[in-house]
């Protein structure tokens, strides 16, 4: 349940613009405007080097510094040298096998999360997770009147192109992003973004202009135009373009959005999150809502259509989806949906369908849970060599809950299960259904607050993938990891972190010259073990 003062209504588009105005503030001390956080991190590790293969030991001692200063109470300058993110927890589990395009994982590193809104655009052109291992960098952000300005410059010591390359000295990538935004009128704004990425003699440059226009209290038009240029070392450059437009109505009883995206085949934004290029996409969504009195707070259907064409006008994907949602008091929600889809994969057309049921609730203060199940058909995107992609029966289940028995203790559980099976009598197996693959993922997370300063976080992850090698080429594997972190946090800058990580996988070394790796039945071999200590101290001037 959510409650606001002053009233936040769906009759007006936007959330923050409905906040109250705070005035009559006088004689406020600016405080200390310079703070530095030096840190030291010490790590010992034992891991399986799959390139050799062999077990190796490594230790690392790292010193670094974070700096923040505020100039004239308006301009914030953040700097970092040799940053360390050992204490950041691993990503939440997601199903990634049999996916056609890159799966999105949100940023979790504090330096990049802070003031990230300054660099947001309708098409995500700055996805900070593209910076794998920053060496040093600076960020400037300011809000002056109707202007908002942001700039970031950084080097990446482990660019994606060279991860696992085995080079002794991997080249660094130089990264720069500048964003400017100007408010016009009461609820409208225009903005510019320019980014540059230099690596090993190559370059990737992006320029973008975007606008958000409030047409009325409930209608908003958002647009963006993008130009890209990419050049590899020793190769000719290629230019690309992109266009985006969205018309949105956000009301109390009727929501509607129409979205259009056009990206040329040579569109290349290496710092962004753009899973697919060379396409034109059109998405429409209509939601009708009734808000009766009583235990039912919202009820109504949602209709969604999505079409994707290539640049020659050939249909690549189509989705027609209808859903029905009932929302009750206590943040309890039931949703049923059915989708009919078309997919063109490797020049083969496939007609698909899926039905989904989901239920979630936070009725109890100490328990929040959600469960969903989806079943229908999907394309086997990763058949073995010599087998064409085919339609298979598909299912996916998800169960999550958060348990808070005491104010100090929180337990989070996640279970994901997905599978593909051949259809009865259909190619390539024929006859009764045969399991193509199954994917099981489990995460258990515990947070315990011993005192205001001392806390414990423990995470256990387990994943298992089984497959029929005659029907799928996904990697069969079993692995589990344990991540334990003790934190003594005096304030957000002064802290001591002690952590232990260990990962096990169903791998083993076969003696020989050279040795080889082979799969075992159980994940009993430690493939990555690490102990670390990190200490930081906040200094204010």
Q: d(Cα 161, Cα 414) in Å, to the nearest integer? A: 32
Q: d(Cα 397, Cα 295) in Å, to the nearest integer? A: 28
User: pLDDT tens, 180-208?
Assistant: 999 998 889 999 999 999 988 889 999 99
**Whether the predicted pLDDT of 169 surpasses 60:** no
Give the pTM. Answer: 0.88
Pairing of strands 332-345, 315-328: antiparallel
Domain ranges for the chain: 476-541
Q: What confidence score (pLDDT) does residue 504 get?
A: 95
Pair of tokens at residue 290: 């009734």
Cβ atoms of residues 267 and 241 within 8 Å? yes
| Bridge partner residues of 319 (DSSP) | 306, 341
Pair of tokens at residue 416: 């994901």
Reported residue count of the chain is: 541
265: left (phi over 0), alpha (psi -120 to 50) or beta: alpha
User: Is residue 510 very low, low, confident or very high in pLDDT (cuts 50, 70, 90)?
Assistant: confident
In degrees rounded to 5, what are phi and psi of residue 162? -115, 5
User: Is residue 59 very low, low, confident or very high in pLDDT (cuts 50, 70, 90)?
Assistant: very high
DSSP notation for 440-502: EEEEEEEEEESSSSEEEEEEEEEEEEEE-TTT--SPPEEEEEEEEEEEEESSSSSEEEEEEEE
**Residues ≥6 apart with Cβ < 8 Å to 11:** 217, 218, 251, 252
**Residues ≥6 apart with Cβ < 8 Å to 16:** none
**Residues ≥6 apart with Cβ < 8 Å to 394:** 354, 374, 375, 376, 377, 378, 418, 419, 420
**Residues ≥6 apart with Cβ < 8 Å to 541:** 32, 34, 35, 36
Q: What confidence score (pLDDT) does residue 206 get?
A: 98
Angle at 175 between CA 171 and CA 241, to 5 degrees: 110
Q: How far is CA 436 from CA 59, 372, 444, 532, in A?
A: 42, 22, 27, 41
Q: What confidence score (pLDDT) does residue 427 get?
A: 75
**Whether the predicted pLDDT of 25 surpasses 90:** no
Q: What confidence score (pLDDT) does residue 32 get?
A: 63
Judging by beta carbons within 10 Å of its beta carbon (0-12, 13-18, 19+), is residue 305 exposed, middle or buried?
A: middle
Q: d(Cα 85, Cα 65) in Å, to the nearest integer? A: 12
User: pLDDT tens, 334-389?
Assistant: 999 999 999 999 999 999 999 999 999 999 999 999 999 999 999 999 999 999 99
Q: What confidence score (pLDDT) does residue 170 get?
A: 59
Q: d(Cα 81, Cα 38) in Å, to the nearest integer? A: 9
Q: d(Cα 45, Cα 39) in Å, to the nearest integer? A: 20
In degrees rounded to 5, what are phi and psi of residue 402? -125, 125
Helix (H) or strand (E) holding 113: helix 110-113
Q: d(Cα 90, Cα 462) in Å, to the nearest integer? A: 13
Cβ atoms of residues 311 and 264 within 8 Å? yes
User: pLDDT tens, 252-299?
Assistant: 899 999 999 999 999 999 999 999 999 999 999 999 999 998 899 999
What percent of the chain is modeled with pLDDT above 90? 78
**Whether the predicted pLDDT of 106 surpasses 80:** yes
Mean pLDDT of the chain: 92
CA torsion 7→10→12→14, rounded to 10°? 90
Q: What confidence score (pLDDT) does residue 12 get?
A: 65
């Amino acid at each position: 349940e959510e409650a606001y003062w002053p009233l936040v209504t769906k009759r007006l588009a936007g959330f923050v613009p409905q906040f109250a105005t705070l005035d009559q503030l006088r004689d406020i001390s600016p405080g200390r405007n310079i703070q530095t956080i030096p840190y030291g991190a010490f790590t010992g590790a034992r891991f399986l080097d799959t390139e050799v293969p062999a077990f190796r030991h490594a230790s690392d001692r790292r010193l670094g510094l974070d700096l923040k200063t505020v100039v004239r109470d308006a301009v914030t300058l953040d700097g970092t040298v040799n940053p360390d993110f050992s204490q950041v927890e691993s990503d939440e589990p997601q199903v990634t096998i049999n996916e056609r395009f890159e799966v999105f994982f949100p940023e979790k590193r504090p330096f990049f999360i802070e003031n990230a809104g300054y660099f947001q655009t309708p098409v995500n052109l700055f996805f900070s997770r593209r910076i794998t291992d920053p060496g040093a960098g600076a960020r400037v952000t300011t809000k002056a009147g109707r202007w908002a300005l942001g700039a970031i410059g950084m080097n990446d010591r482990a660019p994606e192109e060279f991860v696992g390359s085995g080079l002794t000295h991997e080249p660094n990538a130089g990264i720069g992003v500048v964003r400017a935004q100007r408010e016009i009128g009461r609820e409208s704004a225009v903005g510019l973004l320019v980014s540059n990425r230099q690596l090993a003699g190559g370059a990737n440059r992006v320029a973008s202009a975007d606008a958000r226009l409030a047409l009325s209290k409930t209608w908003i038009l958002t647009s963006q135009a993008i130009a890209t240029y990419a050049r590899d070392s020793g190769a000719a450059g290629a230019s690309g373009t992109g266009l985006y437009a969205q018309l949105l109505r956000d009301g109390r009883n009727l929501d509607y959005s129409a979205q259009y995206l056009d990206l040329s085949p040579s569109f290349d934004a290496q710092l962004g999150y753009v899973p697919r290029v060379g396409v034109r996409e059109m998405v429409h969504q209509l939601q009708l809502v009734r808000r009766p009195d009583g235990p039912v707070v919202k009820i109504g259907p949602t209709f969604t259509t999505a079409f994707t064409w290539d640049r020659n006008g050939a249909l690549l994907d189509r989705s027609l989806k209808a859903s029905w949602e009932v929302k009750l008091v206590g943040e309890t929600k039931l949703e049923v949906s059915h989708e009919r889809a078309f997919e063109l994969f490797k020049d083969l057309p496939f007609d698909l369908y899926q039905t989904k049921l989901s239920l979630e609730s936070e009725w109890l203060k100490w328990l929040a849970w959600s469960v969903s199940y989806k079943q229908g058909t999907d394309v086997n995107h990763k058949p073995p060599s010599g087998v064409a992609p085919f339609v298979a029966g598909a299912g996916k289940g998800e169960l999550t809950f958060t348990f808070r028995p005491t104010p100090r203790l929180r337990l989070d559980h996640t279970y994901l299960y997905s599978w593909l099976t051949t259809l009865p009598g259909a190619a390539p197996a024929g006859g009764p259904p045969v399991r193509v693959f199954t994917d099981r993922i489990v995460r258990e997370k515990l947070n315990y607050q011993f005192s205001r300063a001392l806390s414990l976080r423990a995470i256990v992850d387990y994943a298992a993938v089984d497959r029929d090698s005659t029907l799928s080429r996904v990697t069969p594997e079993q692995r589990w990891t344990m991540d334990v972190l003790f934190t003594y946090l005096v304030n957000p800058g002064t802290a001591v972190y002690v952590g232990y990580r260990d990962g096990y996988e169903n791998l083993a070394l076969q003696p020989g010259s050279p040795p080889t790796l082979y799969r075992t039945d159980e994940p009993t071999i430690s493939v990555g073990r690490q102990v670390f200590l990190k200490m930081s101290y906040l200094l204010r001037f």
